[in-house]
């Protein structure tokens, strides 16, 4: 996996926070930024999943979904026994 060096501009207040955060955790500021990016990517994935769940909630209109799943699965089990 390659990496790139990047220069960013942040406020003095954010830089002070980043320095304190890094010092307390005994990591470099670059590592703190990498962890922040990882966290944001993970959160974005979780948010996307939750959005999909919310947007598709209630679209099944053919009765009790759990009952349907159990019926289908019981058919699989009976075909496995043959």
- Find out whether 18 and 10 touch, Cβ atoms under 8 Å: yes
The residue extents of the domains of the chain are: 12-81
To 5 degrees, how large is the angle CA 5–CA 25–CA 7? 20
Q: Residue 50: which residues within 8 A CB-CB, separation 6 or more?
A: none
- Find out whether 18 and 31 touch, Cβ atoms under 8 Å: no
pLDDT tens, per residue, the chain with 82 residues:
788 889 999 999 999 999 999 999 999 999 999 999 999 999 888 888 888 888 888 888 888 888 988 988 998 887 666 6
What is the reported pTM?
0.55
Task: Note the pLDDT of residue 65.
Answer: 84
Structure-token match 């207040």, residue found: 13
Rounded Cα–Cα distance for residues 26 and 62 (Å): 56
């Amino acid at each position: 996996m390659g990496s790139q060096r990047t220069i960013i501009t942040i406020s003095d207040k954010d830089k002070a926070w980043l320095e304190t955060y890094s010092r307390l955790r005994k990591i470099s500021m670059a590592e703190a930024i990498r962890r922040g990016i990882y966290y944001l990517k993970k959160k974005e994935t979780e948010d996307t999943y939750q959005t999909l769940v919310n947007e598709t909630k209630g679209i099944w209109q053919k009765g009790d979904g759990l009952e349907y799943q159990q019926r289908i699965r019981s058919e699989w089990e009976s075909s496995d026994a043959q």
